[in-house]
């Protein structure tokens, strides 16, 4: 398994689709995923990624401090940090708060929203992705907004076709359609990350840039595959064919933390993930992730997450 897959597996994405909205021009509304949107999918995640998929028509997404993002039918936009934003038929329109207009059906089906001035129709599906770990280096690396077409190339065509069918089922209240749409959204997020990673220019820094670097990427893969091994910076440097100082400098420049601190971070993410699974004892988890004892893991875990191992497991 590669380091990107490792991190995605450890953070355990959750997902949900919560609104089928239809707008008619002119229109402009404020938007942000809130706790009430996440509750049907489970506990409130520590980090939320919002997404909007344009089924028909077009819209403009506006985030403070950014240029307007124009989104056409067949495109999806993901807001990596769930920033408050506005959606509208054109830039410059005053955004309205219209949460009270959402219609929740009495029978099984998706909540709906209908709003606007009667002109050109735009239909969108709103949803979210979430993870329980707030300090995810992958998400920290991503830009505020990711935008792409589902059927832009052959690699995403089957996801696009499946997503389109799930959108139709969601719109007519098909049984399980929200769950299917959520799972497909997770695949779309992974595809978006892969596409973004391919566009990174030379000299870019961050976790994805480190993953793409030959030496740092190999070191990340080694740490992820064998987290319980007693790694040292010198041994990792030897494994990737660099001196210790050259390796440390390159790792810090790209990942923004020393190799041993990253190893500690990754071990704690694994511990948090395995505590959620509930199938292992804390002593077993401590051994698997490279801590000599349950007590040592407990001290590091509480220092990092602010809660004990038992509290974390109980809350999950």
CATH of the domain at 9: 2.60.120.10
| 156 vs 137: CA distance, rounded Å | 25
Task: Write out the residue range of the structural domain in which residue 293 sits.
Answer: 207-315
Same domain, 212 and 194: no
149 neighbors 84 (Cβ within 8 angstroms): no
Same domain, 241 and 175: no
Same domain, 140 and 267: no
267 neighbors 227 (Cβ within 8 angstroms): yes
Same domain, 135 and 237: no
* The predicted structure's pLDDT at residue 211: 86
Same domain, 82 and 171: yes
Please say which residue of 198, 218, 249 terminates a domain.
Answer: 198
Please say which residue of 134, 166, 198 terminates a domain.
Answer: 198
Same domain, 216 and 158: no
Same domain, 26 and 126: yes
* The predicted structure's pLDDT at residue 106: 67
Same domain, 65 and 156: yes
| 258 vs 122: CA distance, rounded Å | 48
| 64 vs 5: CA distance, rounded Å | 32
Same domain, 275 and 145: no
Q: Which of 136, 124, 138 is nearest to 77 (CA)?
A: 124
Residues of the chain with confidence (pLDDT) below 50: 1
Same domain, 220 and 158: no
121 neighbors 46 (Cβ within 8 angstroms): no
Same domain, 23 and 140: yes
* The predicted structure's pLDDT at residue 247: 97
Same domain, 108 and 182: yes
- Helices 214-225 and 3-11 sit at what angle, rounded to 10 degrees? 50
Please say which residue of 140, 166, 198 terminates a domain.
Answer: 198
Query: What's the whole-model pTM score?
Result: 0.79
Number of domains the chain is built from: 2
CATH assignment at residue 226: 1.10.10.60
């Amino acid at each position: 398994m590669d380091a990107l897959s490792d991190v995605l597996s450890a953070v355990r994405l959750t997902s949900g689709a919560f609104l089928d909205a239809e707008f008619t021009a002119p229109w402009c509304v404020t938007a942000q995923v809130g706790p009430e949107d996440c509750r049907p999918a489970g506990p409130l995640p520590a980090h939320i990624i919002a997404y909007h998929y344009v089924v028909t028509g077009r819209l403009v997404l506006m985030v403070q401090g950014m240029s307007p993002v124009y989104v056409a039918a067949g495109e999806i936009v993901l807001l990596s940090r769930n920033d408050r934003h506005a959606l509208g038929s054109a830039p410059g329109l005053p955004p309205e708060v219209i949460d009270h207009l959402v219609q929740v059906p009495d029978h099984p089906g998706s909540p709906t929203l209908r709003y606007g001035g009667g002109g050109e129709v735009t239909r969108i599906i709103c949803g979210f992705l979430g993870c329980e770990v707030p300090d995810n280096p992958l998400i920290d690396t991503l830009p505020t907004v990711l935008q792409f077409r589902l059927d832009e190339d052959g690699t995403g065509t089957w996801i696009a076709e499946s997503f389109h069918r799930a959108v139709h089922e969601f719109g007519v209240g098909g049984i399980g359609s929200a769950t299917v749409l959520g799972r497909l959204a997770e695949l779309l997020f992974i595809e978006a990350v892969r596409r973004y990673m391919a566009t990174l220019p030379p000299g870019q820094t961050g976790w994805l840039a480190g993953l793409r670097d030959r030496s740092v990427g190999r070191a990340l893969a080694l740490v992820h595959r064998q987290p319980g091994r007693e790694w040292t910076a010198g041994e990792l440097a030897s494994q990737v064919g660099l001196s210790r100082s050259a390796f440390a400098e390159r790792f810090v420049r790209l990942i923004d933390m020393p190799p041993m601190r990253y190893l500690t971070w990754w071990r704690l993410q694994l511990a948090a993930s395995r505590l959620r699974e509930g199938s292992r004892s804390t002593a077993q988890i401590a051994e698997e992730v490279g801590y000599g004892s349950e007590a040592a893991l407990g001290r590091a875990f509480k220092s990092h997450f602010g809660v004990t191992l038992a509290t974390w497991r109980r809350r999950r």
